[in-house]
Amino acid sequence: MKKNIFYIVVIALSALTSCNKSFLDTENVTQASEQNFYKTPSDAFQALVGIYAGLKVANTNGFPMYSEILSDNAFGGGGYGDGKGLQLMDQFDPRVSLADQDMYSGAWADYYKAIYRANMLLKNIGRVDWTGSEDKSKLYIAETRFIRAYCYFDLIRLFGNIPLLTAPSNDNIPQANPDSVYSIIAQDLKYAIENIPAVSYAQQSKSTYGRVTKWAAEALMARVYLYYAGYYGKTDLVGMVTKAQALSYTEDIITNGGFGLVSDFSTLWPAASLDRYEGEDNKETVFSIKYTYTGDWSGNSDGNSWMVLFGIRYGANAQITPYAQGWGGATVNPKLWNAYSIADSVRQKATIISIAGEGLPKGGTVSDIQKDQREYTGYCWKKYTPMSDAAGKSLAEKLGSPSFMIGQYQDYVSIRYADVLLMAAELGAANAQSYLDAVRRRAMGTAFVTIPANKTNILTERQLEFAGEGIRYWDLLRQGIDVAASTIAESAALLTARVPATRTIAADKITTTKGLSQIPNTQITLSSGTLKQNAGW
């Protein structure tokens, strides 16, 4: 059952002015107007909730899943009868499917809707009359700017060349220089860091779980610094954040945030621990995007839809409890399963479902799973997978969702404390060795043996610790395009609809595209050519 009180409902506050259709697709979905809204503290809070909802909907489009498919952790997967959009994504090749040239259109539109909401609040919050109430304008602005930075960071990593809007607008504008986007990201996060109170984890209340904290802003700033410096080959973040400053942010979280590692890695994930689950908003959660099962088919999508894509795809005769039906996307690369040592089996088995290793299916045969599966490897994701009860009924539906497809209620933990420790170690912390050791000791228990806290070992540890969480691809890219390309490229023997198949991912496709994804062609058309497609697409 969901515990968070600050539950993000979809409220119609995304565009408070009328607008024409443009490539940003910020349609007017509200009865309110800019003139009659933003008057009271309640208006301001409703607008803020709408911004959180915008982030949730944008993430639902599948950024964590895309990030795994783009990496060496997973293949495209999906159903044999589906389009080949996931394969196009995985192979960095538009020729794979001419019918799927609009792969990211929903994500593009929803991220810009969230940004539009943020810009509307930032433009209008000065009109709110706080008389008789505590003036929370700086706090709301800080939370809003964090979310805008978060959205822009996802967009620019995925597409590289994007329009930058810092005020509500429906104009077609050309793509900005990436440094301009990163400058806004850094400014937004600095504002959040400086204007959100430093409330430790122990001091937080359930009513604030899911809201942005100073610690989340500091952690995201460190993540942005590491990616920007690595991908673009720079020593600072657009002249605004140095390596030493990025390190100081992580050290502040470690010293003052009150977070910690849960004792058993497997208890971080419902499907890996069942009744031993540590629960949402545990002491390792620095920032999460909240979901619940209470959505409907009328546009109120409150569930984590990309989890369904991660789930096992199977036929009518199969029984896979405690797991539930999914669409078989992002099939796990066997190389990842084999990358875990025997001493690291707890983390391996909490991260990945081994069809053979877990004796699946429990009813029917393996052929019932392989029948309609594209790029079957025998391995699926466990951290984020739909679940069922002992009778095979979807837990989402059992709790009241009209469908498992829209009711997956597991939060996406975007930033964990383990990530903060490993970022601090990579940034050169004096305690780098103890930070790396803490993460590895938790994973291996009595089999733990220390290894040097150098960059190679830290990055290897990050793959094993965060597999399935949407981090690996960006860790590869920030080591350089050539490193990413050579790591991801391979020719693998798989099964598609029970028939042997070979999946080839060519390094030159990754280098040609610079690791960037295809800008949706519908957005280029809507912009009347103002948007330019990325190289290689």
* 227 vs 454: CA distance, rounded Å: 18
Task: Please enumerate in sequence order all residues whose Cβ is within 8 A of that of 84, keeping only pairs 6 or more positions apart, or say none.
Answer: 76, 96, 97, 99, 100
> Which long-range contacts link 503-512 to residues 24+ away (Cβ below 8 Å)?
503/75, 503/90, 503/91, 503/375, 504/91, 505/90, 505/91, 505/92, 506/91, 506/92, 506/93, 509/91, 509/92, 509/93, 509/536, 510/92, 510/481, 510/484, 510/485, 511/481, 511/482, 511/485, 512/92, 512/536
How would residue 295 be classed by pLDDT, with cut points 50, 70 and 90? confident
Confidence (pLDDT) at 300: 79
Separation in Å, CA 316 to CA 305, 319, 364, 401, 441: 22, 8, 9, 21, 42
Q: Give the closest residue to 501 by CA, choosing from 77, 99, 14, 201.
A: 77
Confidence (pLDDT) at 25: 41
Q: What is the mean pLDDT of residues 484-491?
A: 98
pLDDT over 80 at 458, yes or no: yes
Confidence (pLDDT) at 170: 85
pLDDT over 90 at 347, yes or no: yes
Q: How much helix, strand and coil, in percent to the nearest 5, is found in the chain? A: 45, 10, 45
> Which long-range contacts link 90-94 to residues 24+ away (Cβ below 8 Å)?
90/503, 90/505, 91/503, 91/504, 91/505, 91/506, 91/509, 92/505, 92/506, 92/509, 92/510, 92/512, 92/513, 92/536, 93/506, 93/509, 94/518, 94/537
* 297 vs 290: CA distance, rounded Å: 19
Q: Give the closest residue to 117 by CA, choosing from 143, 154, 155.
A: 143
Confidence (pLDDT) at 19: 31
Query: Bridge partners of 407?
Result: none
* 339 vs 352: CA distance, rounded Å: 12
Q: What is the mean pLDDT of residues 383-400?
A: 96
Structural contact between residues 291 and 303, judged by C-beta atoms closer than 8 angstroms: yes
How would residue 26 be classed by pLDDT, with cut points 50, 70 and 90? very low
Confidence (pLDDT) at 159: 98
Task: Please enumerate in sequence order all residues whose Cβ is within 8 A of that of 240, keeping only pairs 6 or more positions apart, or say none.
Answer: 183, 186, 187, 190
Residue 21, both tokens: 């259709």
pLDDT over 70 at 8, yes or no: no
Give the containing element (helix H, strand E) for 346: helix 345-351
The tens digit of pLDDT for each residue in 355-378 reads 999 999 999 999 999 999 999 999
Confidence (pLDDT) at 14: 34
> Which long-range contacts link 107-110 to residues 24+ away (Cβ below 8 Å)?
107/58, 107/61, 107/62, 107/63, 107/66, 107/158, 108/25, 108/155, 108/159, 108/519, 108/520, 108/523, 109/24, 109/25, 109/523, 110/54, 110/57, 110/58, 110/60, 110/61
The tens digit of pLDDT for each residue in 130-173 reads 999 999 999 999 999 999 999 999 999 999 999 999 999 988 99
Query: Bridge partners of 287?
Result: 415
* 161 vs 156: CA distance, rounded Å: 6
Q: What is the mean pLDDT of residues 238-259?
A: 98
* 536 vs 511: CA distance, rounded Å: 9
What is the residue type of 211?
R
Confidence (pLDDT) at 24: 43
192 phi and psi angles, rounded to 5 deg? -65, -45
The tens digit of pLDDT for each residue in 392-409 reads 999 999 999 999 999 999
The tens digit of pLDDT for each residue in 419-441 reads 999 999 999 999 999 999 999 99
The tens digit of pLDDT for each residue in 511-535 reads 999 999 999 999 999 999 999 999 9
Q: Give the closest residue to 468 by CA, choosing from 326, 337, 299.
A: 337
The tens digit of pLDDT for each residue in 258-294 reads 999 999 999 999 999 999 999 999 999 999 999 999 9
414 phi and psi angles, rounded to 5 deg? -75, -35
Confidence (pLDDT) at 534: 97
**How many Cβ atoms are within 10 Å of 454's Cβ, its own excluded?**
14
Confidence (pLDDT) at 316: 86
What is the residue type of 370?
Q
Q: What is the mean pLDDT of residues 42-52?
A: 97
Confidence (pLDDT) at 210: 95
Separation in Å, CA 275 to CA 209, 270, 306, 459, 513: 22, 8, 24, 32, 45
492 phi and psi angles, rounded to 5 deg? -120, 140
Confidence (pLDDT) at 32: 60
pLDDT over 60 at 333, yes or no: yes
The tens digit of pLDDT for each residue in 78-96 reads 999 999 999 999 999 999 9
pLDDT over 70 at 15, yes or no: no
Helix/strand/coil for 225: helix
pLDDT over 60 at 415, yes or no: yes
Burial class (CB in 10 A: 0-12, 13-18, 19+), 432: buried
Q: Give the closest residue to 18 by CA, choosing from 35, 40, 41.
A: 35
Structural contact between residues 373 and 332, judged by C-beta atoms closer than 8 angstroms: no
How would residue 16 be classed by pLDDT, with cut points 50, 70 and 90? very low
Distance of CA 481 to the CA centre of its chain: 21
* 347 vs 252: CA distance, rounded Å: 28
Task: For strands 241-242 and 236-237, give the pairing.
Answer: antiparallel
Q: What is the mean pLDDT of residues 236-250?
A: 98
Confidence (pLDDT) at 77: 98
Q: What is the mean pLDDT of residues 461-466?
A: 98
Q: Beta-strand (E) ranges in 278-351?
A: 285-289
Structural contact between residues 26 and 14, judged by C-beta atoms closer than 8 angstroms: yes
Q: Give the closest residue to 188 by CA, choosing from 148, 240, 238.
A: 148
Confidence (pLDDT) at 358: 97
Residue 72, both tokens: 């060496």
Q: Give the closest residue to 45 by CA, choosing from 90, 13, 93.
A: 13
Radius of gyration of the chain (CA): 22
**How many Cβ atoms are within 10 Å of 42's Cβ, its own excluded?**
10
* 366 vs 346: CA distance, rounded Å: 24
The mean pLDDT of the chain is 93
pTM confidence score = 0.94
- The more confident residue out of 36 and 49 is 49
pLDDT over 90 at 17, yes or no: no
Residue 49, both tokens: 């909730």
